[in-house]
């Protein structure tokens, strides 16, 4: 294994990068600012790179430092969690990473069922658009969204989704949305990360081109759905992910479900070796059971 820098140097670097201040990092670590500065300097010497740009106005992380933080920060968090688990006697730990929308809009509402079925498993859940790096050993299972192109990993689709225009009942009535062409005169909400975009939908169900401009743009399905619920426009989203909004009648399909594009875009992804762990096996079985319920 390559030579590793001292953990104290890494902790100092992570704290300064997160707090953007040597003084605040020192207070958090119960050290002097000078001691933290020396630890960061030793790490920079070990790496042969400048991790921070220092000036009279404060400290700013460098491009190299930001890249290093993206890898090291998660590793330190994993070490801290594993250490705490061991101290507390937790042996069945499970680390799941997820795309934000499925985590907040689908998974969270079901986690109580998993906890009841598996009270012996300690679950840690994180969410971000960036997929986890299994080589760092931080995550057991990743719930990813997008077009599957993850070689060397097991990729299991969770469910087939129907992507349809969704709007509040009041918005549909006020804008008299009865035919797909009527959307050309309505405010449309763009979900930038969706695998199905408005041009795809217009091509499938009209002979018109989608507008080039949108009333609102978001990088989270949660925000698109909330905006549509507030009557700010029409969102093009999955009825599976919008399940709670539909159940509470905050949204409804503008033209019913027959104007839907069907996709498989959410996946459970993991290295094959991870499936041998009992907590992972239990989680995957439960996950597919929940997904099959619709």
CATH number for the domain including 24? 1.10.10.10
Question: pLDDT tens digits, residue range 89-100?
Answer: 445 788 899 999
Alpha helix segments (H runs only) across 169-292: 169-174, 198-205, 221-229, 243-247, 278-292
Q: How does residue 216 score in pLDDT terms, banded at 50, 70 and 90?
A: very high
Query: Which tens digit of pLDDT belongs to each residue from 12-63?
Result: 998 898 888 898 988 888 888 898 999 999 999 998 989 998 877 778 899 9
User: In this predicted structure, what is the pLDDT of residue 91?
Assistant: 54
- C-alpha dihedral over 149, 109, 85, 9, to 10 degrees? 60
DSSP labels for 142-165?
Answer: EEEESS---TTSEEEE---EEEEE
Given phi > 0 = left and psi -120 to 50 = alpha, else beta, which region is 30? left
- 1 falls within a domain: no
Statement to judge: residues 181 and 257 lie in one domain: yes
- CB neighbour list of residue 22: distance below 8 Å, 6 or more residues apart: 16, 33, 36, 37, 40, 59
pLDDT score, position 54: 81
Give me the phi and psi of 70, to 5 degrees please: -60, -25
Domain containing residue 154: 91-158+268-292
User: Do 146 and 225 belong together in one domain?
Assistant: no
pLDDT tens-digit readout, 275-291: 888 999 999 999 999 99
Mean pLDDT of 168-189: 95
CATH code of 96's domain: 3.40.190.10
**Model pTM greater than 0.75?**
no
Confidence band (pLDDT; 50, 70, 90) for 69?
A: confident
221 plus 258 within the same structural domain: yes
How many Å apart are CA 31 and CA 10, to the nearest integer? 14
192 and 146 in a single domain? The answer is: no
- Same domain for 170 and 184: yes
| Domain assignment of residue 150, yes or no | yes
Query: Are 168 and 253 in the same domain?
Result: yes
Cα 123 from Cα 81, distance rounded (Å): 11
In this structure, are 228 and 285 located in the same domain? no
Q: pLDDT value at position 1? A: 47
What's the pLDDT at 188?
A: 97
State residue 90's pLDDT score.
Answer: 45
- Integer distance in angstroms from the first to the last C-alpha of the chain? 46
SS3 11: helix
Spatial distance between the Cα atoms of 134 and 153, rounded to a whole number of angstroms: 9
Total domains, the chain: 3
With beta carbons less than 8 A apart as the criterion, state whether 182 and 254 touch. no
Are 168 and 258 in a shared domain? yes
Q: Based on the domain organization, do 125 and 213 belong to the same domain? A: no
Q: What is the pLDDT of residue 89?
A: 47
One domain for residues 288 and 224? no
124-178 residue pLDDT tens: 898 888 888 787 667 899 999 999 999 999 999 999 999 999 999 999 999 999 9
pLDDT at 41: 92
Would you say residue 28 lies in a domain?
yes
């Amino acid at each position: 294994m390559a030579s590793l820098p001292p953990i104290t140097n890494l902790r100092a670097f992570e704290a300064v990068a997160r707090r953007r201040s040597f003084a605040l990092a020192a207070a958090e670590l119960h050290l002097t600012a000078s001691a933290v500065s020396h630890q960061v300097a030793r790490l920079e010497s070990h790496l042969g790179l400048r991790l921070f740009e220092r000036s009279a106005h404060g400290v700013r992380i460098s491009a190299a430092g930001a890249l290093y933080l993206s890898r090291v920060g998660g590793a330190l968090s994993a070490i801290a969690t594993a250490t705490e688990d061991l101290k507390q006697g937790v042996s069945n730990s499970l680390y799941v990473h997820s795309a934000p929308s499925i985590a907040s809009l689908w998974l969270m509402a079901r986690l109580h069922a998993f906890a009841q079925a598996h009270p012996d498993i300690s679950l840690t859940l994180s969410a971000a658009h960036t997929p986890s790096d299994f080589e760092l050993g931080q995550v057991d299972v990743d719930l990813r969204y997008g077009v599957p192109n993850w070689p060397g990993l097991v990729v299991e689709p969770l469910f087939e989704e129907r992507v349809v225009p969704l709007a509040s009942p009041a918005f549909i009535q006020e804008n008299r949305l009865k035919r797909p062409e009527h959307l050309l005169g309505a405010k449309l909400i763009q979900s930038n990360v969706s695998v199905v975009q408005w041009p795809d939908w217009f091509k499938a169900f009209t002979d018109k081109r989608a507008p080039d401009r949108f009333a609102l743009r978001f990088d989270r399905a949660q925000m698109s759905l909330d905006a549509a619920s507030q009557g700010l426009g029409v969102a093009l989203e999955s009825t599976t992910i919008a399940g709670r909004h539909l159940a509470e009648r905050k949204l409804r399909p503008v033209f019913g479900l027959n104007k839907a594009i069907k996709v498989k875009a959410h996946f459970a992804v993991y290295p094959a070796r991870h499936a041998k762990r009992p907590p992972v096996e239990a989680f995957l079985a439960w996950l597919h059971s929940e997904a099959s319920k619709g």
